[in-house]
Structure 1
Amino acid sequence: MGHHKLRRLRVYGGFLDKLDISFVDGLCCVIGGRGSGKTTVLEFIRHALDRAPKATGPGSKQADERLRGLLAANLGASGCIELEFESQEGLVYNIRRTAHEPPVITDAAGKQLKAEMLGSSVLVDAAIFSHNQIEDIAQNPAAQRELIDRLSSQSLQTLEARMAQTTSLLRENAQRIVQLQVRIAGATRNLVDLSSWESKLAAATVALGGEASPAFKAAADHKALREQEKAALVRAHEAVARLRHSLGEAVPAQIRGLGGLLPDPLFAGPNGKVFADLSRELVRKQTELEVLLSSPLERLGGVERALASASEQLAAAHRPQDAEYAALTARAEQSSARLAARDEAAREVARLGASKLEVVELETALAEARAARTRLRQDFAQTRRDRSDRRAAIAEQVSDRLGGKVRVIVARDAELTPYREFLAGLMRRSGKQYTAPIERLTAALAPDKLGALADREDAAALAASADLNPEFAETLIRALREQPERRFELDVLDLEDVPRIELQVHGEWRSADRLSTGQKSSAILPILLMDSEAPLLIDQPEDNLDNSFISDAVIPQLKAIRGKRQLVLITHNPNLPVLGEAGQVVVLEADGRHSKVIAQGDVEAVKQHIVRLMEGGREAFHQRALRYGE
């Protein structure tokens, strides 16, 4: 499989009106004088691809405002950007975007596609870094993690998708467990009430026995039986309706999703036949499953109709029986109070009698839900381990590839901020000092271990494990037990890995956040230049780097990844296009009101512009050569 590529950028309106740049695979450089719009080209590409920098850090708001200002000033209210992009599968997309509207995407046939595809990082992807953003990466662990993840985007995306699915299933499972527990509590209360009503029924029957004739007693017994008959049909109808609803709503929705698993753009690619054949098979299986499922649904519908018919027949049979019973009751006024008490007790016993079976069914369902939760938690934990293992492997590869100059170390599950915030929210209204205890707890005990202690209500073990005050431990356990929804959130807390990028300086390894500005670029840039499917766009990567580092470290990497990745560099340094053997150099020139492309081609085709803009002119170039003795 190939790699993603930018193919063409066109601009209509604004400072870069009528700009038309063609990109080649390999190294492309954009050069020009100050104010010629080089940075604007990169930001226009970023805007078209909807790759705005993630808002992190104290200056993120100002950076976002600067980007919006740049777009407004250089594109205007009516201008637009058109970007042609080729995916690694060979699919071509045309992206059109104005300054203030979302992007509009069409495929090679002109069919409009969903804008959400830009966020998938599968069909369309690019790594874009503005001026000084490389230095910012050195200060930001989340940005460093994203940098490492980019070196294995496909496998990590699969793991992230699996984690998202498992998280969703765990949350659904938590809701089911809570609902089952509520229903069990209600059914258990009904059992207590049932015992009381059974006692009342027995007492009322005994009291009535001495005053009523055998015929009246038989009629009263039949009345109680009729109540049980009606209750039995209601229970049966509810059970069948629940089953039919479950099969008719949840399962078909999942089956119908089979036909839409594959995105349309894949069918138009060079491997479209593979996906078209697979799509037809999925649709065929979807139809088969829907047909197979229709039979039990039809049968359940028949059961419901039979139950409705039985209810109608029973109601018809009950009407004369109830009328006869009412007549007997009228003739036995002296027994009416006791009879009313017996009838009420009989109705309640019939209504509550289902609770015995309901408790058994609910407890069985709860056991199944808990067993499913155990499996889901194990899958969630294993997926997180797989993700950490993958990152550790990438870190090792990076360290090996960069020859002992730069290394990456991954600290597993080290991002504890979400865990701290969760516990702080739980203890905020407890009236206790919680900051220091939470620090000790998060350092000592993973969320799943805390959850297990909460399930066992083992406050003593919690206090001992995290060096907590026993009263604090008891309060925390109680809070988790009293708020089951919060307890279940522990199972889906994702403690991210924290990578640490280090540079060897005079025989000592120093983490990126402790480096000078130039050293930070020396640590981060070689990682950015490693293999990836996504095009890499950087604004002035040479800033804060000396030319020897560019010649000795950067240029060899540029040559090593030729043919494996597209790079677009905005630069003032001639070493990058010349020694890097750029396949395309775009030369911009501005007159104060507009900027335009005055030349584009390989180094040989535009060398006079490189000498003029980047070397200070041919005379200056020769003078330096003479001074060097060359």
Structure 2
Amino acid sequence: MIIKKLKVEEGFFDGLDLSFTEGLNVLVGGRGVGKTSVIELIRFGLGVDNLSSNANESSSHAVSILQSTGRVTIEAMHNGTPITVSRSAMDREPFSTTYFEKPIIFSQKEIETVSLNASGRLALIDSFDSEIAEKQKELINLNSQINNSCAQLSQSKKELSELLESTAQFQSLKNRENQLLLQQQEIQKQNASMQNSQNALNNIQSELAAISVDLQNISAVKNSLLQRISHLESLNTPLYLQKYNSQEAIKLNEIVSQSFAKDSATIQFLIKSNRDLLDTINNTINTLTNKKLNLEEQARSNRINVDNFNQGAGAILGELGRLRQTLAQIENTQRIAQDKKDKIGHIYDDIQSTLEKVATLRDLVQSKRSQIVNYLNANLLPAINSSLTPNSNLNDYSNALEGCLRGSGLKYKEVISTITQKVSPAWLLYYTHTLKYQDFANSIGLPLDRATRLLGYLSEINIGPILTAKIEDTAEFSLLDHRNYKPVEQLSIGQRCTVALSVILENTNRVLVVDQPEDHLDNEFIAQTLIKSIKQRSNYTQTILSSHNANIPVLGNANNVINLESNGQKGFIKCSGKIDSLDVKQVIESIMEGGKEAFQLRSNFYAS
């Protein structure tokens, strides 16, 4: 992509129409004329995120220049296709005519600080390959799936626990049923004449048990249907119509209104269909309830006959009937519990499958980063050494694990580091699912009782935040200083800027916009290294810089020098053109060299 124009409406740069060319563009001018403001307007207009500093700082700067009613418009070209991007001071995001690849933009502060933190160093490396950003978006989507599945898994586990608790008395009730059957057999031996009444009662009780189960299951279906109807009714909210002015917005409003009306009709149809189904369910429940009442009446009649013969036999039959209904309901609950176990197994498999996809994507990103590091070392060694340690930044993983364990009452802080280093998220999910306490204890080197308490707690909570925590690579840059490599954290500001700019300028894949790259750099580095890299970039893509240093436009053979000026109230372009144009030469001589006399004095000094 090549940025062609920057246009501004309202504010300090009202009416600005600034043209850029391919190759090197340099913004020059005295202090306070708005060079940094132009950089930040480009950033704001294209919606480019800061790599290391607060994004709100840049947005605030641009908005203060535009004022409340201002707008910035950027015209660009990408593979021969014109692109227009526009954003007002009030817009949250820019509007563009088509997709565009955002440039890399650095403020002075970012150049100083981007290499100081782990995320900034990774961002520098990732900026070389746009596919890395696409893979990171895929990772976000996969992690969203994992979080949703983990929430389902946690809820299903709670439901299963409740189901199993309600079936805990099954065996004791079954034993009691066997006892009652034995007693019933003894009574039946005493009087064979009661066999028919007893057989009829047994048949009725069996049928009652079956009806009880049916009513239980149908009631569950009814509750689900009531929830669905409630949800559909909540969706059928009236559309609040906005008042629009433009023909396009009015036309869109008509389309939206028609769409909502159509949706409302569909929802009404679904509500009616579900209510009709609810009526059918209620009718079935009433039919089964009446049948149950009739059977219970028949059962009472048969029990009376039996009780007339033997009061004890009736009591046994009554208890046996109630017991059989309870057992039938518990057996039904056991089937539901088994279905829930199967569902939990499927959810677990889905999460593990998604974690495998996450691992594959991370490996791909790490491979691309390694290639970029190798490219940087091939071009920057021995002066600057770059390195990448895969999957070594476990801070987010540790924080997520600590957050989930907080409030558990367990002593966990001293084992957080051990778990994150020795147990991957996929293995942690496996241990919490299978509850292999001994294996977990062996893997982290803890006593079995302590590992059991820890794993038991994790198995009962939603561990989605742990499974989706970032496990990042660690990028490092170091500068050769007196035959020793010093990491960026130990470098001066000037040395840090040297490292950051050296890396940034190697990226020839995207447009680069930098505010005063020469700050904190010595003139030798500017002349021998910085200028060389800038000129090399011009063969591949566009570079836009603001500068006070004459070496950058002159030795960099700038394709376009833009002299900004200000009258204190408004900024404007005083002149612009190629480096060899008369106006540009005079600007460089007067502003960047301190005037013709100062330039001549330095020339005489160097010649002597």
User: Aligning the two structures, in what range does the TM-score lie when normalised by the shorter sequence?
Assistant: 0.7 to 0.9
Q: Distance in 1 between matches of 2:547 and 2:481?
A: 26
Structure 1 partner of 2:249? none
- Greater shift in the superposed pair: 374-383 or 572-581: 374-383
Q: Deviations over 1:168-219 (max 9, x none)?
A: 3333333343344344434444544344444555556655867994554344
User: Is 1:455–1:481's contact at 8 Å kept on the other side of the alignment?
Assistant: no
1:407–1:198 CA distance, 2 compared to 1 (3 A): same
Structure 2 unmatched ranges of 5 or more: 227-276
Whether the aligned pair in 1 keeps the contact of 2:163 and 2:337 (CA below 8 Å) is yes
Q: Using the alignment, how far apart are the partners of 2:488 and 2:124 within structure 1?
A: 13
Give runs of aligned pairs for residues 103-502 of structure 1, distance below 5 A. 103-107=93-97, 123-154=100-131, 156-201=132-177, 207=184, 213-214=194-195, 216-231=197-212, 233=214, 324-325=298-299, 340-425=318-403, 428-429=406-407, 438-439=416-417, 442=420, 470=446, 474-475=449-450, 477-484=452-459, 485=461, 487=463, 489-502=465-478
Distance (whole Å) between structure 2 residues aligned to residue 321 and residue 440 of structure 1: 64
State whether structure 2 residue 495 is matched by structure 1 residue 519. yes
3-state SS in 2 of match to 1:51? coil
1:18 aligns with 2:15: yes
Checking the alignment, whether the CA contact within 8 Å between 1:29 and 1:571 is kept in structure 2 is yes
- Larger mean Cα displacement after TM superposition, 413-422 or 189-198: 189-198
Aligned residue number for residue 264 of structure 1: none
2:44–2:59: 8 Å Cα contact kept in structure 1? no
Instruction: Summarize the Cα distance change of 1:462–1:343 in structure 2 as closer, same or farther, 3 Å threshold.
Output: closer
Counterpart position of 1:589 = 565
User: Structure 1 residues 452 and 124, CA, compared in 2 at 3 Å: closer, same or farther?
Assistant: same
Cα distance change on mapping 1:243 and 1:88 into 2, 3 Å: farther
- Per the alignment, do residues 409 and 474 of structure 1 end up closer, same or farther by CA in structure 2, a change over 3 Å counting? farther
Letter in 1 for 2:120: A
- SS of the residue corresponding to residue 500 of structure 1 reads strand
Which residue is equivalent to 1:95? 86
CA deviation profile, 1:480-530 (whole Å, cap 9, x unmatched): 322323556543332211100122233322222222222222211121112
Q: Contact conserved, 2:479 with 2:487, CA < 8 A, in 1? A: yes
Check whether the contact 1:481–1:487 (CA below 8 A) recurs between aligned residues. Answer: no
Partner residue of 1:546 out of 522, 525, 532: 522
Q: Give the secondary-structure state (helix, strand or coil) at the position aligned to 1:524.
A: helix
Find out whether 1:528 has 2:504 as its counterpart.
yes
**How many angstroms does 1:568 deviate by?**
1.2
Decide whether aligned partners of structure 1 residues 142 and 465 sit closer, same or farther in structure 2, where only a CA change above 3 A counts. Answer: same
**Does the Cα contact within 8 Å between 1:451 and 1:490 map onto a contact in 2?**
no
Q: How far has the Cα of 1:328 moved from its partner?
A: 5.3
Q: 1:69 to 1:362 in 2, by over 3 A?
A: closer
Q: 333-342 or 533-542, which moves further after superposition?
A: 333-342
For residues 251-295 of structure 1, the C-alpha deviation after alignment (integer angstroms, 9 at most, x for no partner) is xxxxxxxxxxxxxxxxxxxxxxxxxxxxxxxxxxxxxxxxxxxxx
Query: Does the C-alpha gap of structure 1 residues 548 and 489 become closer, same or farther in structure 2, counting only changes over 3 Å?
Result: same
- Indicate how the Cα distance of structure 1 residues 426 and 89 shifts in structure 2: closer, same or farther if over 3 A, else same: farther
How many Å separate the matches in 1 of 2:129 and 2:600?
Answer: 46
Are 1:447 and 1:490, in contact at CA under 8 Å, matched by a contact in 2?
yes
Q: TM-score, normalised by structure 1?
A: 0.74
TM-score normalised per structure 2: 0.76
2:254 aligned partner: none
Amino acid at match of 2:456: R
**Are residues 554 and 316 of structure 1, via their aligned partners in 2, closer, same or farther at CA, if it must alter by over 3 Å?**
same
1:78 equivalent in alignment to 2:69: yes
Partner residue of 1:284?
A: none
Map 1:20-35 to 2 at 5 A: 20-35=17-32
Instruction: Confirm or deny: 8 A CA contact 1:80 1:96 kept in the other structure.
Output: yes
Conserved? CA contact 2:47–2:94, under 8 Å: no
Alignment partners' CA distance in 2, 1:35 and 1:19: 16
For 2:259, the equivalent position in structure 1 comes to: none
Note the residue ranges of structure 1 that are not aligned, 5 or more in a row.
109-121, 246-302
Aligned-pair CA distance for 1:242? 12
Report deviation, 1:226. 2.7
**Number of the residue aligned with 1:51:** 48
Q: 1:193 to 1:464 in 2, by over 3 A?
A: closer
Please give the alpha-carbon distance, in whole angstroms, between the structure 1 residues aligned to 2:299 and 2:413: 72
Change (3 A) 1:589 1:152: same
The CA distance in 2 between the partners of 1:394 and 1:529, in whole Å, is: 13
Question: Could you tell me the percent identity over the aligned residues?
Answer: 22
Query: Does residue 1:615 correspond to 2:593, yes or no?
Result: yes
3-state DSSP of counterpart to 1:139: coil
Asked if the contact 1:538–1:569 (Cα under 8 Å) also holds between the matched residues in 2, the reply is yes
Alignment partner, residue 246 of structure 2: none
Contact 1:27-1:568 within 8 A present in 2 as well: yes
**Is 1:576–2:552 an aligned residue pair?**
yes
Q: For 1:568, what is the secondary structure of its paired residue?
A: strand
Matched residue pairs, number? 548
* SS state at 1:612 partner: helix
Structure 1 residues 8, 346: CA separation in 2 closer, same or farther (over 3 Å shift)?
A: same
Amino acid at match of 2:596: R
CA contact (8 A) 1:5 1:88 kept: no
Q: Which residue of 2 aligns with 1:294?
A: none
Does structure 2 conserve the Cα–Cα contact (< 8 Å) formed by 1:414 and 1:495? Answer: yes
In 1: Cα distance, 2:434 partner to 2:301 partner: 60
Q: State the 1:35 CA deviation.
A: 0.7
Query: 1:223 is matched by which residue type in structure 2?
Result: I
- RMSD over aligned Cα atoms: 4.2
Please give the alpha-carbon distance, in whole angstroms, between the structure 2 residues aligned to 1:88 and 1:475: 62
Encode CA deviations 1:578-607: one digit per residue, 9 max, x unaligned.
232322222110112211112223223433
Provide the C-alpha distance between the structure 1 equivalents of 2:49 and 2:378, rounded to a whole number of angstroms. 32
CA distance in 1, matches of 2:408, 2:301: 64
Deviates more, 1:165-174 or 1:510-519: 165-174
- C-alpha contact (below 8 Å) 1:92/1:107 kept by paired residues: yes
Q: Which stretch of the first structure deviates more once superposed, 510-519 or 233-242? A: 233-242
Query: Equivalent residues in 2 for 1:591-606 (5 A)?
Result: 591-605=567-581, 606=584
* SS of residue paired to 1:387: helix
Using a 3 Å threshold, how does the CA distance of structure 1 residues 538 and 157 change in structure 2: closer, same or farther? same
Secondary structure of 2:15's counterpart equals coil
Q: Which is greater in Rg?
A: 2
Distance 2:428 2:341 in 1: 25
Distance 1:146 1:514 in 2: 20
What displacement does 1:463 show? 7.1
Is the partner of 2:471 in helix, strand or coil? coil
Which one-letter code corresponds to 1:421 in the other structure? N
Match of 1:561 among 529, 537, 558: 537
Change (3 A) 1:400 1:24: same
Secondary structure of 2:74's counterpart equals strand
